[in-house]
Amino acid sequence: MNKINSFLDKMRIPIFIIVITTTIILFTTLFVIIYTDVIGLDIDTEKSYSIDKANKFWGLQAMYVFMMTIIFMPLIETLIFQTLLYNLLILFNSVKNNSFILISISALIFGVSHSFHPFIILQIGIAGFFLMFAYILKSRSRNQFDAYLIVFCIHALRNIVPFIYKII
């Protein structure tokens, strides 16, 4: 694991952002495929995400949703679920010395904050797992402000996918 961390940490920031964002999208998509096709469970993701494809949006509504989804929410959620939660959890030595537990707690809280549906908790939790992983990696090698900005960019890029899905 240290080799992977070292490899990722040495990447130029734009490449790192693209790699982590792509990883989040791939893992969450794989989760959806396994959950629905392999296991055979059915979930109405459109209802779970409150997507109404018959009611497409344009103009000011689209701009509002874009600003909230791609700018505002990633700024706030990165502050709460990575920066503040990280600084709170490292106060406990048992968590501070175990990155996996710290990342897992953060992922669970991140997932629950988005929904109480088990499918959505797990799917968003996967994204939260990688967001906290990126935050920890960059806060240890750089500083917390840089880590915040990097994770914000990853989060915003990841949020573009459902935004595009909603407007299509």
Summarised one tens digit per residue, pLDDT across range 125-150 is 999 999 999 999 999 999 999 999 99
Residue 116: what pLDDT?
84
Task: Please say whether the beta carbons of 165 and 51 come within 8 A.
Answer: yes
Mean pLDDT calculated for residue range 160-164: 83
**Cα torsion 39, 42, 47, 52: sign:** positive
CA 89 to chain centre: 18
Rounded Cα distance between 58 and 66, Å, is 11
Q: Average of pLDDT values for 87-95?
A: 93
Q: pLDDT digit string (tens) for 4-13?
A: 989 999 999 9
Contact partners, residue 133, CB within 8 Å, separation at least 6: 20, 99, 103
50 confidence band (pLDDT: 50, 70, 90): very low
Q: What is the pTM of this model?
A: 0.86
